[in-house]
Structure 1
Amino acid sequence: MAAQSQDLSQGVSQGVAVLALHYQNDVLHPEGKIRVGMSADSPVRGAVIAAAQALLQGARQREWPIVHVRIAFRPDYADLIQNAPIFRNVAAIGAVMDGAWGSAFYEPLGPDTARANEFVVRHRRVNAFYGTELEELLRIVNARRLVVAGVATHSVVESTVRHAVDMGYEVTVAADACASAQMVEHEASLRSMGLIAQIARGEAVFS
């Protein structure tokens, strides 16, 4: 029992934090407007959700801080700089409007509001650090290593991972809890990030 307790608290002493990116209704729900190309009955979608649930559960058991990052814009998109196809498409399809169902967290993967070390960050660009309080929160929880997961792998995940590595964090990508519209994009992004981060699957995320 003592050994188990020591193991579960290991993340606190090691300064590990989880970044859960874009686990939102418009991204993961069968009726979402984005769904990164995954159909409602896609086995990939179910596998990603299950892996994300396992990641969050494992982090909570180990008392690791979790930062849930959501992307959301004003209903009129006045706060959205439409300088790239990905942002123009968000406005065109009316996705992730702040305060609407689509921008809310997908219920099985939302933050646990009863925990003191779970946080929510809203952002408006690809990189979760850009223009947000994410860096400050990670300093507060004394994070030195980040476990990053989310959707899409080649977009918010890779952009955030690269920024984190440049800031000096050791980064592990929870590959099973990530997805892209096309598997080839997902795998290519993982290979690319493998040059700067650890790519882990299953329980290896917690080692």
Structure 2
Amino acid sequence: MTLEKGRAALLVVDPQIDFLSPDGVTWGVVGESVTEHNVVDNIRRLFRAAKAAGMPVVVSPHYYYPHDHRWMFEGALEKVMHGIGMFDRPGPLDMTGFAGSGADFMEEYEEYIFDGRTIIASPHKLYGPEQNDAALQLRKLRVDQIVLAGMSANLCVESHMREFIEQGFEVAVVRDATAGAKVPEGDGYLAALINFRMIANAVWDTDETVELVQALAT
């Protein structure tokens, strides 16, 4: 995969407190992996490089509203997320209590996300982007190459990768700008890495990605 200016965008999934901060509700299971891969700083480096190169940036966030808690059936992790109040907001038009909450973006990224140019897509509700407008936004910019990062590796990131590839995008996953839960059944990050290698058009680390993105600015 060779990045081309005008065709490529950075897409960051769930760069939110509940996933990436010790204050987040999932830190007990993802914190070790986030720390091990230096994910918080690596995502920041990707934001900075993309902005400097004039590359479009899309954030695909995760929010749950009160009506989502009335779902009549749930998968295992959906049930957990709803039970711990992950990504909760009082409503789609209500920002009460958002700042600093688990649904909020990490403070380290706010200067990039709130610069007036970053596309904040509508929320995805399960794992993939099928229910939000991220693909539409990219298509409207004539973008067909995605540099993919964010949380978490074997869930939302892998699901975004799979869907965008099915839609005909080229996708490069940044392997150390994501992390996964470590549970008795195994390491979510390592499970995802296998599929990244088999499915993605490229798997790069942050150093390599930043270098490739910076080259687009010349």
TM-score (norm 1): 0.84
Question: CA distance change for structure 1 residues 147 and 195 in 2, over 3 Å: closer, same or farther?
Answer: same
Residue 153 of structure 1 contacts residue 178 of structure 1 at CA under 8 Å; is this kept in 2?
Answer: yes
Aligned-residue offset at 1:202? 2.5
Aligned to 1:4: none
Aligned-partner Cα distance in 1 for 2:72–2:41:
33
Do residues 12 (structure 1) and 13 (structure 2) align?
Answer: no
**Structure 1 residues 17 and 36: CA distance shift in structure 2, 3 A:** farther
Q: How does 1:68-79 map to 2 (within 5 A)?
A: 68-75=59-66, 77-78=68-69
Residues 72 and 103, structure 1, Cα contact 8 Å, conserved in 2? yes
Identity %: 21
Partners of 1:80 and 1:204 lie apart in 2 by 42
Q: Please give the per-residue CA displacement for 1:142-192, whole angstroms capped at 9, x wherever unaligned.
A: 111100011110000001101111111111001111000138321231121
Query: Which residue of structure 2 aligns with residue 202 of structure 1?
Result: 206
Q: Give the gaps of 5 or more residues in structure 1.
A: 1-9
Q: Which residue of 2 aligns with 1:156?
A: 156
Q: 1:58 aligns with which of 49, 60, 65?
A: 49
Report the Cα distance in structure 2 between the residues aligned to 1:59 and 1:12, rounded to whole angstroms.
Answer: 11
Moved more, 96-105 or 86-95: 96-105
The range that moved more, 30-39 or 52-61, is 30-39
Q: TM-score, normalised by structure 2?
A: 0.80
Relative contact order (alpha carbons < 8 A, sep ≥ 6): 1 or 2 greater? 2
Does residue 135 of structure 1 match 2:172? no
Per the alignment, do residues 79 and 60 of structure 1 end up closer, same or farther by CA in structure 2, a change over 3 Å counting? farther
8 Å CA contact 1:152, 1:178 repeated in 2: yes
Structure 2 equivalent of residue 28 of structure 1: 20
Matched residue, 2:114 = 113
Name the residue aligned to 1:7: none
